[in-house]
Amino acid sequence: MTVSTASPAIAQEFVAFAVQSGVLRFGEFKTKAGRLSPYFFNAGLFDDGAKLGRLAGFYADSLLASGLQFDMIFGPAYKGITLAAAVSVELARRGHNKPFAYNRKEAKDHGEGGTLVGAPVKGRVLIIDDVISAGTSVRESIAMIQAAGATPCAVAIALDRQEKAAEQGVDMPWSAVQYVSDQLKLSVCAIAGLSDLLQYLQTASNSEVASYSTAVQAYRDRYGV
- The phi, psi pair for 78, rounded to 5°, reads -105, -40
- Cis before 179 (ω within 30): no
Report the distance separating Cα 45 and Cα 58, nearest Å.
16
- Residue tagged active-site, from 51, 110, 164, 185: 110
Report the distance separating Cα 37 and Cα 39, nearest Å.
5
Strands, E, within 137-208: which ranges? 151-160, 164-167, 170-175, 187-193
Show the 3-state SS of 17-40.
HHHHCCCEEEEEEECCCCCEEEEE
- Residue tagged active-site, from 30, 96, 108, 185: 108
Per-residue CA distances from 23 to 136, 157, 169, 183, 184 (Å): 23, 15, 27, 30, 29
Q: Beta strands 124-128 and 114-118: pairing type?
A: unpaired
Active site residue 110: yes
Catalytically active residues, by annotation: 108, 110
